[in-house]
Amino acid sequence: MNEEIVTVRYNVYVEKRVYVNQNDDDNTATKNIYDKMWTNKDEYMDAKPLEFEEPKIISRGY
């Protein structure tokens, strides 16, 4: 059996509970969460995976 190593990139949809300001509407709350996600990415990496989509091989090697 011949085996090959490939690198795969895919989208992961996750679910996580976060705190938002009670007085913010949905659009404002969503924008605030989005603005913090990369800054606090370690806090968002422990989210529960819900769905995987679009696997794509981006490199191949032996």
Nearest-angstrom CA–CA distance, 39 and 33: 10
Position 62 scores a pLDDT of: 65
The two structure tokens encoding residue 59: 């490199």
**Interval 23-57: pLDDT, tens:** 999 999 999 999 999 899 898 888 899 999 999 98
Position 24 scores a pLDDT of: 95
**In three state form, how does the secondary structure of the chain look?**
CCCCEEEEEEEEEEECCCCCCCCCCHHHHHHHHHHHHCCCHHHHCCCEEEEEEEEEEEEEEC
- Whether 14 has a pLDDT exceeding 80, the answer reads yes
